[in-house]
Structure 1
Amino acid sequence: MSYDGESFSDVRGFDLSGAPDDTRFIIGDLQIGVTYRDQYLLVNYDPQAPQRTGFRGVPTFEPDPGWVLRGRLDRYAAPKSVDFDTVGTDKSTYTSPGVITFTHAGREHTLTPTSSPSGMVVVFADATSGVTTYGACRSLSVPEPDQDGTVVLDFNRALNLPCAFSGMPVCPVAPAGNRLPFAVEAGEKTPHSQQH
């Protein structure tokens, strides 16, 4: 196997306490991912797995400019730690820069985003969750706000998280405040592999 550019065939021990999430060990065509979520999790990545070779894409709603909404990020005085329940373990802790407020159908709603390298991510559920979209949540990348705090929520870009495709990954679940009371008929639907 190999790890971090070094190949070996003897028994090795590794201190992964400071390693990045989803550290990969390579064994031939296989990769073994090591993730820590209150316990170590091992995930097998097999390029010949039937789920991969038989993948038929992801169904989506038709793009609709009506689902491109403007909102406002109200920043906290300092970023806050927020705990989300997860699919697979108890909780995961993220950093949130503030609260996004937006209006849909004449009513005001709020979402708690988490920080990401490219801006923010909102993990949300809505009235389609568990019906036409994956039940736990979907995610939406939100670019950094304008100077006045304006953000664009393009729900056409709502994506399934890895747990929608397999029971192995650990993914956050939309917190209560990110459960929208209306149907967001935009973005990705439930993957074919999960449909009955």
Structure 2
Amino acid sequence: MTRYLVVPGRGVPSPDHWSRDWVRDCPTYRWAPEPPGPPYVAAERVAALHAAIGAASAPAILVAHSAGCLTVAVWASQHVGPVHAALLVTPPYVDPNRIPGPHETVDGFVDHVPREPLPFRSILVASRNDPSATFEQFEAYARDWGSELFDAGAVGHLDSKTGFGPWPDGQRLVRSLTRPA
């Protein structure tokens, strides 16, 4: 049986966020980490994701939003595990040439965002008007990670602030990941 691990972004998803609906309404979906919330510390998030992936031998589909996509990329560069695929929703762009100061992380996320192909199938959901990344930056992530690119249109950061509650397109994309590519 496939497991679905929802990897949150930096903050606590609002009560009407699509990811909360999915975890609440589907018994095969669970948070990684549990419970989600600030502060975002990359090493802790990667460790929590690794523990969740390793908790069972059944394959997992990762559903990541925002900084959670960076967590997935870092995890994949450091670990292996039973991951079948990932849905990467509006990852924030981090300039690969930016060098953080001695006591900071890049944009509060991670010191380095891996730009190598992910070892599993992935779909990257891109927005035409996201404040955290341009469409071209989404395209660069998709190319570097070997992800299929899904143009969601002008959907902002695809969160509650931009009007996304249930998000049926996302559910269709997850279902597409359960089938062979």
Query: So what's the TM-score if we normalise by structure 2?
Result: 0.23
Q: Report which of the two structures shows the higher radius of gyration computed on alpha carbons.
A: 1
